[in-house]
Amino acid sequence: MNEYPYDDIIINGRVVSIKGIVNGVVTAESDFEQKTFEFVSAWMNGKESFIQNTSGSTGTPKAIQITRTQMAASAMMSINALGLKPEYSALLCISPDYIGGKMMLARSFIARMKIIASAPSANPFSKLFQQRIDFAAMVPLQVQGILHSDERIKFNQIKTIIVGGASVDAETEKKLQDYSCIFYSTYGMTETISHVALRQLNGKNASNFYRTLPGIRIHTDARGCLVIEWDKLPEKIVTNDLVEIVKGDEFRWIGRWDNVINTGGVKVFPEKVELVVMEIFTTLHIHNLFFVGSVPDAKLGNKVTLFIEGELSDDIIADVEKEISTRITRTEAPKQVILVESFILTENGKINRKATTKPYIGDM
């Protein structure tokens, strides 16, 4: 990668020599810096393959091998789709432990963008030192953290932000309409070498559908779950994501097959119910985390249940239940509400539904 035009990267406000990183003479001051230096060194030294752990999106979590060729091809798809340019600066604020972090660095090297790295936090902008940022990748919690801070005006100084790792809720998406920065929700996973589809969240081209990147082919299996094919992958990827394909290259995400609730012989999609609950929470100014799951029931098999983190008064819960009953079918509506002191989260910040509901399933 001798054509990379910069001699250094900026990490946590420090200017660090790439040559020093490659030669192993730079001391990392945190685990984030160590992981960043390891990838920078490996990439600049021409390493041909990397081992990456999957999150379990398509099955049991496992370690897989990802090649440099695959990463370069994935990076080029994103660079072309997003219009990334050599004069841009790219913010790395997610861990290189994950494919999203590694691919931000790979895109930066291939597109010849200046690398600015800041240790992951709820508000990455709070640790920047007046550096110009053109492109960034974040998780929803970081976008939300910035929106609730004084740094939110900085969104107007950035050209493009991709948001991945989890879906963007309706309330956050609504707030993004006020900013000139173009936000994209990404669809992808470790097995697909980062994202393979984008959905623009704001601006004149905002859409409710994901559009695949050029070269990606999609269809659904017998369950209605998305199947992904790409010439750079050794085999097709069969996901557990239920989708509706509206055109050859566009689809709407419905929910997770493994989250579907069979109640009284009817299938209920929790994510569909959660969209309604989010609208109600926004209207009632409720900020508690929540999700829709189920607990065993002697009559129904499984009872649709709304799990809410923290405390809410009985009156507020009654208001929520009343609003739900007017917006969705009786079958889909949660039959009970369970308040949970604290949700269990996965390593990348998603709600671990199975672990959080396990005590309540066991008690039934």
CA atoms of 134 and 79, how far apart (whole Å): 13
- Mean local confidence (pLDDT), 307-322: 96
pLDDT tens readout for residues 343-354: 998 766 678 898
DSSP SS3 for 314: helix
- Which residues on neighbouring strands pair with residue 198, listed in sequence order? 186, 211
pLDDT tier, 2 (very low <50, low <70, confident <90, very high otherwise): very low
CA atoms of 163 and 141, how far apart (whole Å): 10
Q: How far is CA 346 from CA 11, 96, 355, in A?
A: 26, 17, 9
pLDDT value of residue 223: 94
pLDDT tier, 1 (very low <50, low <70, confident <90, very high otherwise): very low
Q: How far apart are the first and last CA of the chain?
A: 59
Asked whether the predicted pLDDT for residue 38 surpasses 80, the reply is yes
pLDDT tens readout for residues 73-116: 999 999 999 999 999 999 999 999 999 999 999 999 999 999 99
CA atoms of 325 and 330, how far apart (whole Å): 7
pLDDT tens readout for residues 168-205: 888 899 999 999 999 999 999 999 999 999 999 999 99
- Cβ–Cβ < 8 Å for 117, 11: yes
Superfamily grouping for domain 8-215: ANL, N-terminal domain (3.40.50.12780)
pLDDT value of residue 362: 63
Does the 260-363 domain belong in CATH 3.90.1150.10? no
CA atoms of 302 and 259, how far apart (whole Å): 12
Q: What is the pTM for the complete model shown?
A: 0.87
pLDDT tier, 138 (very low <50, low <70, confident <90, very high otherwise): very high
User: Could you state, in order of their start, the residue ranges of all structural domains in the chain?
Assistant: 8-215, 260-363
- Residue ranges of alpha helices (H) inside the chain are 18-22, 31-44, 68-82, 99-111, 140-147, 170-176, 270-283, 314-327, 353-363
